A = this chain, B = another copy of it.
Amino acid sequence: MDDVLAYLEAGRERFLRELMDWLRIPSISSAPEHRADVRRCAEVLAAHLRRIGLHRVEVLPTDGHPVVYAEWLGAPGRPTALVYGHYDVQPVDPLELWETPPFEPQVRDGLLFARGAVDDKGQVYLHCAVLEAYLATRGALPVNVKLLIEGEEEIGSPHLDAFIAAHRDRLAADVAVISDTPMYSAEHPSLCYGLRGLAYLEVEVEGPRSDLHSGSWGGVVANPALALARMLAALKDADERVMVPGFYDAVRPLTDADRAALAALPYDETAVAAELGVPCLVGERGYSPLERVWARPTLDVNGLWGGYSGPGAKTIIPARAGAKLSCRLVPDQDPDTIGRLVADYLRQVAPPGVRVTVRQLHGGRPVLTPLDTPALQAAQRAVERGFGKPPVFIREGGSIPFVATLVEQLRVPSVLLGVGLPDERTHAPNEFFHLVNFYRGMRAVAYLWDELSRLG
* Chain A residues near B (Cβ < 8 Å): 30-32, 90-91, 93-94, 97, 155-156, 182, 196, 198, 200, 207-223, 225-226, 228-230, 232-236, 238, 272, 276-284, 289, 292-293, 296, 298-319, 321-324, 326, 328, 351-355, 361-362, 396-399, 422, 425-430
Find out whether the CB atom of B308 lies under 8 angstroms from the CB atom of A91.
yes
Find out whether the CB atom of B282 lies under 8 angstroms from the CB atom of A221.
yes
- Residues of B with C-beta under 8 A to A315: 198, 200, 302, 326, 398-399, 427
What's the Cα separation between A284 and B302 when bound, in Å? 31
Find out whether the CB atom of B296 lies under 8 angstroms from the CB atom of A318.
no
Decide: A293 near B427, CB < 8 A? Known: A278-B222, A304-B225, A308-B93: no
Find out whether the CB atom of B217 lies under 8 angstroms from the CB atom of A304.
no
What's the Cα separation between A355 and B91 when bound, in Å? 26
Find out whether the CB atom of A277 lies under 8 angstroms from the CB atom of B208.
yes
Contact of A216 among B219, B279, B280, B293 (CB under 8 A): B293
Apart from A196-B215, A218-B328, A220-B292: 15 A-B pairs, beta carbons within 8 A? A30-B310, A97-B210, A208-B277, A217-B276, A219-B298, A220-B282, A225-B304, A230-B232, A280-B352, A282-B352, A301-B307, A302-B315, A303-B306, A304-B305, A305-B309
What's the Cα separation between A82 and B411 when bound, in Å? 83
Pick 25 A–B contacts, CB within 8 A, sort by A: A91-B310, A182-B216, A211-B427, A211-B428, A213-B427, A215-B398, A218-B293, A219-B289, A219-B293, A219-B328, A219-B397, A220-B272, A220-B282, A223-B301, A225-B301, A225-B303, A226-B236, A226-B300, A228-B229, A229-B230, A229-B304, A279-B352, A280-B353, A303-B314, A308-B324
What's the Cα separation between A374 and B222 when bound, in Å? 39
Contact of A355 among B198, B279, B311 (CB under 8 A): B279
Contact of A208 among B216, B221, B276, B307 (CB under 8 A): B276
Residue among A216, A220, A238, A427 with the most chain B CB within 10 A? A220
Residue among A94, A308, A311 with the most chain B CB within 10 A? A308
Contact of A321 among B212, B278, B304, B317 (CB under 8 A): B304
Residue among A94, A426, A427 with the most chain B CB within 10 A? A427
Decide: A225 near B323, CB < 8 A? Known: A196-B215, A216-B396, A276-B208: yes
Contact of A232 among B217, B229, B279 (CB under 8 A): B229
Find out whether the CB atom of A316 lies under 8 angstroms from the CB atom of B302.
yes
What's the Cα separation between A284 and B311 when bound, in Å? 30
- Residues of B with C-beta under 8 A to A309: 303-305, 322, 324
User: Closest approach, in angstroms, between the C-beta of A144 and any C-beta of chain B?
Assistant: 31
- Residues of B with C-beta under 8 A to A300: 214, 218, 223, 226, 317
- Residues of B with C-beta under 8 A to A32: 311
Residue among A198, A209, A235, A362 with the most chain B CB within 10 A? A209
User: Closest approach, in angstroms, between the C-beta of A320 and any C-beta of chain B?
Assistant: 10
Find out whether the CB atom of B229 lies under 8 angstroms from the CB atom of A301.
yes
Find out whether the CB atom of B223 lies under 8 angstroms from the CB atom of A312.
no
Contact of A214 among B210, B215, B232, B326 (CB under 8 A): B326
